[in-house]
Amino acid sequence: MDFSTWARRRFLATSLCAVAMASSPGIASTETRAPTKLAVFEFELDDFSAGGPLAGESPEETARLRRMTREARETLAKSGLFEIVDVAPATDEAVKTHWLRNCNGCEADVARRLGADMSFIAFYRKISVMEQSLQFRIRDARTGELLNVSQTDYRGETDESWSRAIAWLIRHRLVEPELKRRGGEAAP
């Protein structure tokens, strides 16, 4: 089931509950749908560049990953589609070592334990200083099913290139399609 199918089912269930509540005396109805609770984990670096795996993540890359995670959380929250769940309490080894991209969906279990509806992991894949890509994966926290896998390629290893990649990917592969499906418009 893709993100749109999951979202339609959730919308239908929410709508049915709202109709039931509105027809029950003494219970207020809600006009808008509650944002989906999303656990956005720290972004990761998957370095395939020459010497990268041996040298490890540089302090500059670590700082950039933290900035990109913060930007993504802010962008997702501002969309109105998501309520960002705090992932700081997670103590799982894959979370602490930034290895969620390779744990075969374990992030869904972690997200569920944190009270989220869905998990969001993202990683920058570095082939060289000039050739890189960004991928995010969203899973249903109850079932572990992949709801959205999106990727974009970009050039250059700068704050600007990394920031543009995450902004573009979130906007064009997640927020705008969902807002369009709902009949709304994306924020500028």
pLDDT digit string, tens, across residues 80-139: 999 999 999 999 999 998 889 989 999 999 999 999 999 999 999 999 888 999 999 999
Taking the C-alpha atoms of residue 57 and residue 62, their distance in angstroms, rounded to an integer, is 6
Taking the C-alpha atoms of residue 81 and residue 99, their distance in angstroms, rounded to an integer, is 27
pLDDT at 129: 83
Per the listing, tokens 């199918």 go with 5
Going along the chain from its start, the domains and CATH numbers come out as: 35-182 (3.40.50)
This prediction's pTM? 0.78
Taking the C-alpha atoms of residue 186 and residue 188, their distance in angstroms, rounded to an integer, is 6
Contact 137, 149 (CB under 8 A): yes
Which of these, 24, 63, 26, 32, lies nearest to 45 by C-alpha position? 63
3-state secondary structure of 93: helix
